[in-house]
Each structure stands twice: as structure tokens, then as C-alpha cells.
Amino acid sequence: MAYLPNGADDRRQMLEAIGAASVEELFTSVPERLLRPVMDLPEPLAEQELVSELERLAARNHPLGTLDSFLGAGVYRRYIPAIVRAAVARPEFYTAYTPYQAEASQGTLQTIFEFQSMICELTGLDVANASLYDGATAAAEGVLMAVAQTGRDRVVAAADLHPETLAVIRTYLGGRGVEVVTTHDVSSTLGAGDACAVVALPGFLGTVDEIAPVAQAARAVGAISICCADPIACSLLTPPGDLGFDITVGDGQPLGIAPSFGGPHLGFMAVRQELMRRMPGRLVGLTHDHDGRRAYALTLQAREQHIRREKATSNICTNHALTALAATVYMARMGGAGMRRVAEISVQRAHALAARLTEVDGIELAEPDRPYLWEFALRVPGDAGDFATAMRHQGIVAGLPLGRFDPERRDQLLVCCTETTTPAALERYVEASSRAARPVTVSA
């Protein structure tokens, strides 16, 4: 078999050493009636057959690179420098375990320490952890921290949080007797019984609202302020920590991680110093070895499940170390300045596209008065799903029809530009949209 190194002779001698007559004898503790059930599993495959089979499945998909894609909505096709893939493809990193034995894991430990440091720089906060699963679960963990810290049982969330984030927060709080309210005006909704305020930067529709007052309002009522931030946006905008937020969480996917049909991505979390011991997940600290050399180790483990069991700050154990490595290499390659340049290109292109599109008959911005970064809600004539279908026939993924998340936005599409959406693709979008918009107008 492919991955079983011992041959028949080895196995026989090993059984002899054990004192067993057969492999079956090793399973006598399993009740007879449970053993060797009839299972409907396909024939084993040779590596060559396996590759054909999976290539066939892959060929049934239409990857973004073969299309003009304007999809964003939380997952972004950003350019990934080759060195990022080269780093995560090294077996020294991808086959390693959680770095419990520090002396044999300094490579992983140091890259995590670098990751933590970079996330602190990006968010303007004091302490970042080694990673969480994704942006949505990171937000839910942040909310749980706030509930534990304040002992209060209501959460006030901005209505323009990513719908998946909001849904995950609700599931995490289910069974815990904590209420989640959503509002367009977080600051004036906050009261003395609230555990936290949760806002997004940018909002789900790509808009940037003034959120500093939310952090102030939260502080005034003794609540924790949480910002769900896009990491590339943090390189351009005043970071949440500087705006007064206590916790910043987000999805690190834009930092050199492939879209991969929604995962694996990367959750990150950074907090103020006072909240350090309430943080979920791994933390790597700088220390020394017995010869006084600089060394790194997992630390403050008294927060974690393997020590504290039901009293742990979270149940998280496995996190997303390898995608955190990808993000670390991405940030080190690009630098803060390179990330900011990527943000600026995205902003320029999105605004250029929006300006051109609004010249097309029947197309307009849905939120014309709110500033936005590289995503905007576009109102089209008729149903946005039909518009997207017509655009797709011309090889363009025009954006995300919003009716699925909000029935009142059935005629709207969330459109995204990044540094990978080329100026030529913008031209094709404009041209195709005048055709896609026309027949719908006629039939309406």
C-alpha cells in the first residue's frame, strides 16, 4: 500500500515480538459483532488514477483566474507573492505539530511571534494571539471575552457586520442566555447592561463609517468595544486600536491566502494589555534558554483547555498556524508600505469602475453618500441575480447579488476591485453591463 512501509516479513516478525499469531488477535478487545462491518467504499486508486480523478473534479469548476471576477464580500483575490507558497510548502513547517517542545520548534515559534507582532502593528493594539479559525469565529470569541469580562448579557452589533459573522456570533451565544441586537446606530443603542459593541471596518457593503464614537460610547457604559477589521484596510485607515477599540478581530485571508472555496483562511485577534489573560488560543512569548540565548515558547497556557479544562477561556486547541505563516511571509514581503499601496490601487480601481458604471443607464450606487474603499453596492435595473447571470454569460462574475442577505436589496450587487482586477477587466465590465442592464429594463 502507498503509505505503509512494512512488508510481510517485517509484519510477521513484529507479531512474533508482540506474541500474537495474527493481526486479528490485536483486535480481540473489540466486540465481535462490531468488527469488520460491510462498507460501501470504492476500490483503492493508484496515485496516477487519483490525480486523474481529482483533476476531473477540479475541471468541473470555473476558477476565478479564468474569469473576470468582481466578487469580494469577505474573500478577496489578492496577488500572492510566490515566496508565500514556497514557505508554506516546506515540510519543516507544514508537517510540524503545535510547538509544545520548544527546543525542537523554534522555527514555528519565532514565525508566530513575528505574526503576533505584525498583527499588533496593523491593528494598533498591544497583544495578538497565534491565530483563530476565521474572521467570523474570531468575532464570536471576542464577544465571549467581552461577556466573560463584563458579566453582562446583551451584545449590540452593527447591522452592517458581515452576515456570516453575525450568524456565527448568534450560534456561539446560543444556549448561553445572551441576547444579540443589531442596529444602524450602535452608539445610541448601547446601555449599562451591554457587554460589548461590535462594528465592522469596512462594513459588509464596503463602506467606512465613523466608528471612533462607538468605542467612546462603549467605554462610557463600561462595555467592551470590538472592531471586525479587514487587515489590508488597516494599512490605509487609522487602525482600530488608535480609534479606541479594545479588541480587533478579522479574517487574514487577504494576507497571502488563497480563496480556496472559503477555507482554510485565518482568524486574527488583538486586544488591549488588560484583556491579555482573557484571550483565547495560543500565545508565543519571548524568553531565553538556559544558556541565555533568545528563545521562544508557548506561554500563559493557564488560559487553555489542556490545563484548565472546563474553566479555560475557550475550547480552541488547533488553530491556523500554517495560514498565519502565509500571512507572516506576505506581510514581511510586502511591508506595511506595500500593503498600503495594494489598498490604494484597489480604492482607485473601485472608484474608477463605479464612476464609469453610474454613467450606464439604469445603474447607480446604492449608498451614494457613504465613503467606501474597494467594494460598493450597485443598484441595477431589475433583479441583480438576473443581471449577474447575464454578465456571467459574458465571462464576468459581476459581484454578489445581495437579495440573499437582505430582500430589500434584491436589485443590488456587491462589486469588488483589487489589484488583481485589471484595468482591461474594468473596461469589459462597463461594456458588458450596458448590455446586461438593457434587456432587463425593457422587460420591466
Span 217-276, contacts to another protein by CB under 8 A: 234-239, 251, 258-265, 276
Round to whole Å and give the CA distance between 440 and 387: 8
**Of the residues 68, 164, 246, 375, which one makes contact with another protein according to CB under 8 A:** 164
Residues that contact another protein, how many (by CB under 8 A): 205
Instruction: Tell me the closest approach of the beta carbon of residue 374 to another protein, in angstroms.
Output: 10
Residue 393 binding another protein, by CB under 8 A: no
Residue 208 binding another protein, by CB under 8 A: yes
Pairing of the two strands 247-251 and 224-229: parallel
Residue 17 binding another protein, by CB under 8 A: yes
**Of the residues 319, 376, 378, 437, which one makes contact with another protein according to CB under 8 A:** 319
Q: What is the CA angle 229-231-236, rounded to 5?
A: 95
Residue 383 binding another protein, by CB under 8 A: no
Nearer to another protein, 80 or 363 (CB): 80
Round to whole Å and give the CA distance between 140 and 132: 11
The dihedral region occupied by 238, where left means phi > 0, alpha psi between -120 and 50, and beta the remainder, is: beta
Nearer to another protein, 227 or 283 (CB): 283
Round to whole Å and give the CA distance between 173 and 300: 25
**Of the residues 150, 153, 159, 170, which one makes contact with another protein according to CB under 8 A:** 170
Residue 187 binding another protein, by CB under 8 A: no
**Of the residues 179, 185, 191, 348, which one makes contact with another protein according to CB under 8 A:** 348
Instruction: Tell me the closest approach of the beta carbon of residue 438 to another protein, in angstroms.
Output: 21
Instruction: Tell me the closest approach of the beta carbon of residue 314 to another protein, in angstroms.
Output: 7
Give, as ranges, the residues between 26 and 45 that touch another protein (CB under 8 A): 26-31, 34-37, 39-45
Q: Is the dihedral of CA 251, 252, 255, 258 positive or negative?
A: negative
Residue 419 binding another protein, by CB under 8 A: yes
Round to whole Å and give the CA distance between 418 and 422: 8
Round to whole Å and give the CA distance between 250 and 124: 14
Residue 92 binding another protein, by CB under 8 A: yes
**Residue with the three cell numbers 460610547:** 217
CA torsion 306→165→345→395, rounded to 10°? Answer: 120
The span of 63-71, 151-159, 214-222, 358-366 binding another protein (CB under 8 A) equals 63-71
Give the side-chain half-sphere CA count within 13 A for 425. 22
